[in-house]
Amino acid sequence: MQSTAHAFKDNVDRALVDDNLQQSLAILKVGFSERRRQAVERLPEFEALRDRARDIKNHALAHLDLYLEAFEAKVTALGGQVHWAPTADDACRVVLDICREAGARTVAKSKSMIAEEIALNAHLEAHGIEPVETDLGEYIIQLRREPPSHIIAPAVHLTKDQVADTFHEHHRKLGFDRRLTERPDLVAEARAVLRRRFQEADVGITGANFLVAETGSSMLVTNEGNADLSNTLPRVHIVIASIEKVIPTLEDAATLLRVLARSATGQEWSSYTTFNTGPRRPGDLDGPEQYHVVLLDNGRSSVLGGDMQDMLRCIRCGACMNHCPVYGAIGGHAYGWVYPGPIGSVLTPQLIGVAEAGSLPNASTFCGRCESVCPVRIPLPKLMRHWREREFEHHLTPAAVRQGLALWAFLATRPRLYRWATGLANRLLALFGRADGRYAWLPLAGAWTRYRDFPAPQAGGTFHAQWKTRRGAGR
């Protein structure tokens, strides 16, 4: 998708005045975090599992080439095919070729962030193949021609009324005349529409939560069951997954699953957790005749072994955005590309460049709530800070900020001069009057005083000036 990450501030302005969005975010801010909290409370081993989950992913990344080879050997032995895609374009081309060879007209898709990352739908449509999103949220935003605003709840920015309008507009031609108002009816109508689409689809495309090297299995975690229909009914099943999804064993999958659903939705376990291993076997009554796995790199291999490698541990649970007060204020679309929230602020500059997405890692208070809930303990604030450092090194930081910092650093490393400057500032502020105890306006502080008063300094001078008078110089 076309990035608007460079226009982050404009995106934010729009988001903050979007009433529907703000209404949806109000639910998100309390719902997800409360459900996660309860789930964590129910499992005493949760923190230890997070440590182990982190270690498993670190081990897998440190041996990534070897586990990918092992995974490939298993899939191939079972009659599946593994395709290697260094770039997004390569992945799109591979998928299109498979679809064409299968004579596909429609494709049933189960929500995949990798498909969003490589803009697969646009590529298929441009070549006359219709992709049908089958996850309810993803289906809704496909009808609306919008990108997802959350990695596990793509339509979380929409209200029920907006969904009702969208269905009414698009389902009329399918014979559903009535505008529905109740949630169960909306879900039932989507189920009926999509059931037909599943049955006519020639190819099913899914992502993967994990790839298990031990067995050659691709794993899918959903609540709706749409991924399972996508990999059971069509003749061809294509899995698209990025390389860092590979993990060693089924036991390792168990550990990661124990932290995934709890972190994501606060569930003990997602409704459907599925291990797919190759095409239909002799004697099977259903299942695809062809099974393909497309392994995407798209810049990830270059992150390995460096100071940003931690981001590759991500298991895409969405907990960081569910707990991020910035995401809670602006929603996912403002981030301007596929991955929103704290993990997006770390991944996006890597995937589309820090010049385009440099605002994202800056738009954080470093409150650390994301890191405190990350199931694989990704130090998200630290990684955001790394990006800020790269921006600073490459002179992408705004000139005014650089100059301000240079002046500040000049003073901060010269304590005597600093004392003089703070004393001066203290007296200057006094000139603006401190009778009210605060200022509604101050020169150069418009960004603060637009929304808040600015507390006046206490009378009597700075602490250090007073301390010197009282006790003499400390040392």
Partner 1 sequence: MTVGLFVTCLVDMFRPSVGFAAVKLLEDAGCRVVVPDVQTCCGQPAYNSGDRADARAVARQVIAAFEGFDHVVAPSGSCGGMIAHHFPALFDDDAAMQARAEALAGKTHELVSFLVDVLGVRHVDARLDATVTYHDSCSGLRELGVKAQPRALLSGIAGLKLAEMANPEVCCGFGGTFCVKYPDISNAMLADKTRDIAATGADTLLAGDLGCLMNMAGKLQRLGSSVRVRHIAEVLAGMSDLAAIGEPETAPAGPAAAR
Partner 2 sequence: MTAREQMLGAIRRSLRRGTQAGEARAAVEARLRRHPVNIVPARTAGTDEDRVRLFERWATFNQATVVRVGVADVPGAVVDYLAANNLPARVVMAPDAALDRYDWDGRPMLERRRGLPEDADRVAVTGALAGIAETGTLVFTSGAAHPTSLNLLPETHVVVLREADVVGPLEEVFARLRARYGEGGMPRTVNTVTGPSRTGDIEQQLELGAHGPRRLHIVLVRD
Instruction: Provide, rounded to whole angstroms, the least separation between the CB of residue 377 and partner 2.
Output: 15
**DSSP structure class, residue 383:** H
23 sits near partner 1 (criterion: CB under 8 A): no
Q: Enumerate residues 6+ apart whose C-beta is below 8 A from 14.
A: 334
Q: CA–CA separation, 13 vs 334, rounded Å?
A: 9
Looking at the Cβ atoms of 81 and 422, the one nearer to partner 1 is 422
Among 117, 189, 224, 310, interactor with partner 2 by CB under 8 A: 224
Q: Tell me which residues in 384-403 interact with partner 1 (CB under 8 A).
A: 385, 387-393, 397, 401-402
Among 113, 115, 119, 194, interactor with partner 2 by CB under 8 A: 194
Let me know the angle formed at the C-alpha of 23 by 21 and 27, rounded to the nearest 5 degrees. 110
The item of partner 2, partner 1, none sharing an interface with residue 38, based on CB under 5 to 8 Å by kind, is none
Among 41, 173, 285, 471, interactor with partner 1 by CB under 8 A: 471
Among 85, 436, 441, 443, interactor with partner 1 by CB under 8 A: 436
Among 279, 342, 358, 381, interactor with partner 2 by CB under 8 A: 279
The item of partner 2, partner 1, none sharing an interface with residue 342, based on CB under 5 to 8 Å by kind, is none
Looking at the Cβ atoms of 247 and 330, the one nearer to partner 1 is 330
Q: Which of 315, 249, 312, 242 is nearest to 58 (CA)?
A: 312
348 sits near partner 2 (criterion: CB under 8 A): no
Residue 220: strand pairing partners: 274
Among 16, 27, 126, 445, interactor with partner 2 by CB under 8 A: 27
The item of partner 1, partner 2, none sharing an interface with residue 84, based on CB under 5 to 8 Å by kind, is partner 2
Among 366, 420, 432, 441, interactor with partner 1 by CB under 8 A: 366
Looking at the Cβ atoms of 271 and 365, the one nearer to partner 2 is 271
367 sits near partner 1 (criterion: CB under 8 A): yes
Burial class (CB in 10 A: 0-12, 13-18, 19+), 121: buried
187 sits near partner 2 (criterion: CB under 8 A): yes
412 sits near partner 1 (criterion: CB under 8 A): yes
Going through 57-172 in order, the beta strands assigned E by DSSP cover: 81-85, 106-109, 130-133
3-state secondary structure of 272: strand
Among 44, 175, 437, 443, interactor with partner 1 by CB under 8 A: 437
- Check if the beta carbon of residue 276 is closer than 8 Å to that of residue 293: no
Instruction: Provide, rounded to whole angstroms, the least separation between the CB of residue 151 and partner 2.
Output: 13
Q: Enumerate residues 6+ apart whose C-beta is below 8 A from 304.
A: 61, 64, 312
**DSSP structure class, residue 316:** -
- Check if the beta carbon of residue 78 is closer than 8 Å to that of residue 216: yes
Q: Tell me which residues in 48-77 interact with partner 2 (CB under 8 A).
A: 48-49, 52, 56, 59, 62-70, 74
**DSSP structure class, residue 180:** P
Instruction: Count residues binding partner 2 (CB under 8 A).
Output: 103
Among 273, 290, 345, 350, interactor with partner 2 by CB under 8 A: 273
145 sits near partner 1 (criterion: CB under 8 A): no
- Check if the beta carbon of residue 13 is closer than 8 Å to that of residue 338: no
376 sits near partner 2 (criterion: CB under 8 A): no
Q: Residue 329: which H helix or E strand, with range? A: helix 325-330
Q: Indicate the residue type of 127.
A: H
Please list, residue by residue across 185-216, b when 16 or more beta carbons sit within 10 angstroms of its beta carbon and e when fewer do.
ebeebbeebbeebbeebbbbbbbbbbbbbbbb
133 sits near partner 2 (criterion: CB under 8 A): no
Among 131, 147, 207, 278, interactor with partner 2 by CB under 8 A: 278
The item of partner 1, partner 2, none sharing an interface with residue 411, based on CB under 5 to 8 Å by kind, is partner 1
84 sits near partner 1 (criterion: CB under 8 A): no
Instruction: Provide, rounded to whole angstroms, the least separation between the CB of residue 468 and partner 2.
Output: 55
Q: Which of 326, 365, 123 is nearest to 240 (CA)?
A: 123
Q: Tell me which residues in 308-337 interact with partner 1 (CB under 8 A).
A: 325-326, 328-330
Q: CA–CA separation, 85 vs 90, rounded Å?
A: 5
451 sits near partner 1 (criterion: CB under 8 A): yes
Looking at the Cβ atoms of 46 and 275, the one nearer to partner 1 is 46
Over its C-alpha atoms, the chain yields an Rg (Å, rounded) of 26
Q: Enumerate residues 6+ apart whose C-beta is below 8 A from 376.
A: 50, 53, 54, 57, 259, 313, 314, 315
Looking at the Cβ atoms of 329 and 456, the one nearer to partner 2 is 329
Stretch that binds partner 1, among 41-49, 159-167, 339-347, 404-412 (CB under 8 A): 404-412
